[in-house]
Structure 1
Amino acid sequence: MTMPNKNIVSDLIILSMDEFLVYLNIIKPMSPALVDRIRKTFKLRKFNKATYLMRNGENQDRALFVLNGLIRCFSLEGGAEVSKFFLQQYDALDAGIIHPGGISSFEYMQAIVDSLVLTCSKQELDQVYSDYPEFERHGRIIAQRCFSRIYAVLNCIRMHTARERYLFLRREFPDLIETVPDTYLASYVGIHPVTLSRIRQNL
C-alpha cells in the first residue's frame, strides 16, 4: 500500500488550521498567543464516509469543529435510528454536553460524506477558555450559530405539517436535501420515509 507523502499531509494540516483561524479571526481578532495555543490544542482528523466519530457507550468527552463535510448525530429509539441534528461546515459541538440547551440526547455520530474535523478533549478546551477568556466569545458565537438552526428545525416539527416541514428544509437547508439520504431526513423532521417520498413526488 502506498503511503501518503508526508509533505502533502503536513500541508493539509497547515491549510486546514489556517482556514479555522481565518474563520475565528472574522468573529473577533485573536492575539498571537491565542493563535499559537489553538494550533497546539486542536488536532486534524479525517473521517471517511460512513465512519463513526462516536458510538453509544464510548468516551464522549470531545469537542469538535467541522472544517468541511457533514456529520449526523442520532440515537436508537425502539430499534430505529432517529436523526437528532446534523453538523455542517463551521459547526462546532462539545460532545461532552449530552443535552445541549435542552436538545434531546444523541448516542452516535457518523460522517455522511468524507469530512475534515478539528478536535480536542473537553478538558483541553476548558483550559483554553480559562487561560484566554476572550476565546469564550468565539465559542459562544459558533454555538449560537449551530443551535439556532437546530432550534429552528425543532420549532418547525412542532408547528407544521409534514409537507411544510419538508418545504422548510428545502428552503432553509438545501445542502441537507441534496446530500442526506431520505431515511435520515425523514427521521430528522419526524416524517415517515414513505410520506417524504410522496411529498417529493407531488411537488
Structure 2
Amino acid sequence: MLTEREVIIRLALALVLGGLIGLERERLYVAIRTYSAGFRTHILVCVGAALAMIVSEGLHFQYKGDAARVAAQVISGIGFLGAGAILREGILVRGLTTAASLWVVACVGLAAGGGFYLAATLGTLLVLFALIILGALEDVVRNWRRQDTLSIVVGNQPGDVQMIGTVLKEFGIQVKRIDIQKIPESDRQLLEVAVTFPYRVNRVEVLNKLASLSGVHRVENQVL
C-alpha cells in the first residue's frame, strides 16, 4: 500500500512536469494571441492522470482488481479533451500539437502516479525537446522554403509606406524585396512586398491590421 509520502511525491512530480510542458504551450498562446490549452490545463491533466493511477493502484491492493483499467480509461478519455483544442480556420487546422501535448502529458501523469519517476521525467524532457528545439528548427525550415508576396494599394502620402513597414516589423515579418509602381491615372501606388512570415504569426491578423491603416486601400496575399 502506498504511503502518504509516496502519494505526495507522485502528485508533486506530476504537477511540476505537467507545468513545464504547459509553460511551453502558454508561450505559444502569448505569441499568437489565440486559444490554446496552456499552463493550468496541462497541470490539471497531468495531476488528474497521476491521481487516477494512484487510486487505481490503491484499489488494486485493496480489492485485487485490475489496475490497468483506470489507466486505459484515462488514455482514451483524454481524446475528448484533445479534440476541444483543435480549431479549424478555413482550410487551416490549428491545435493538433496542443492536442498531442495534452495526450502525452496524461501519459506523463500516469507514469508519475505509477511511481515511474525516471520515465516521467525523461518523457517530459523529450516532449520539451520536440516542442521547443525541433519547433524552432521547423520554423527555420518553413521560413527558408516559403515566401509570401503582399500586394498593397496605398496612397501617395509620404507616411503611408512607413506605416506599413512599422506593422510588418511589429509582427516580426522579414521583408525580402519591395517594388513600388505608380497606378496610372490615379493618386495611388501599388506595393509588391516579398516577405517571410514567422510560423506562429497569424496571417489573417496581419492582413487585417494592414487593411485598417488609413492610407491602405487594398491588401492581397500571394504564397509562392
TM-score (norm 1): 0.28
Q: Tell me which of the two structures has the higher relative contact order, counting C-alpha pairs closer than 8 angstroms and 6 or more residues apart.
A: 1
Higher CA-based Rg? 2
More helix by share: 2
